[in-house]
Amino acid sequence: MINSSGEKTMALQDEDLVKIGAYVQQRLPEWLAGINYTRTPYDRDMELRERIVRVEEELKNQREILKQGFEQVDKRIDQVDKRIDQVDKRIDQLDKRLELFESRFSRITVIITAGFAMMTVLMSVYRFVGQ
């Protein structure tokens, strides 16, 4: 026989169904023996409460671990902030040194320009006087 999805199936006779029913009735006590039905609703309730308490304790432990982790992250951020402040101070010192160098360079540029101007004037005067 073929069912609606196109698969081959076997048609069962009434006597086959009776045999299957007898087999299941014979084996059912063995199968149910492995299942523990002796627990009362009170026992299951107490077991659930114990599990809830264990879960709550674990959540509390996890919360403490997270809290410690966040504290360590905060400490590390404070250390990084201090290091950034040190770097900012060092950059300020370098800026001051560059400003000093720039002022010295400007003075030297003025002196060299004045020296060339003076040499040009003196060379012109000696040339004019020397002729």
Backbone angles phi, psi at 23, to 5 degrees: -60, -45
* 74 within domain boundaries: yes
Got the DSSP string for 26-93? Answer: HHHHHHHHTS-----HHHHHHHHHHHHHHHHHHHHHHHHHHHHHHHHHHHHHHHHHHHHHHHHHHHHH
Domain count, the chain: 1
Tens digit of each residue's pLDDT (9 = 90 or more) over 38-82: 677 888 888 899 999 999 999 999 999 999 999 999 999 999 999
Contact of 71 with 78, CB cutoff 8 Å: no
- Residue, of 27 and 59, whose pLDDT is higher: 59
* 9 within domain boundaries: no
* 7 within domain boundaries: no
Range of the domain at 81: 14-130
* 68 within domain boundaries: yes
Residue 36 in this model has a pLDDT that exceeds 70: no
* 5 within domain boundaries: no
* 26 within domain boundaries: yes
Mean pLDDT is lowest, of 4-13, 49-58, 83-92, for 4-13
* 4 within domain boundaries: no
* 67 within domain boundaries: yes
Tens digit of each residue's pLDDT (9 = 90 or more) over 90-104: 999 999 999 999 999
Length of the chain: 131
C-alpha to C-alpha distances, 131 to 29, 66, 121, 123, 124, nearest whole angstrom:
141, 95, 16, 12, 11
Amino acid at 39: R
Distance CA 120, CA 124 (A): 6
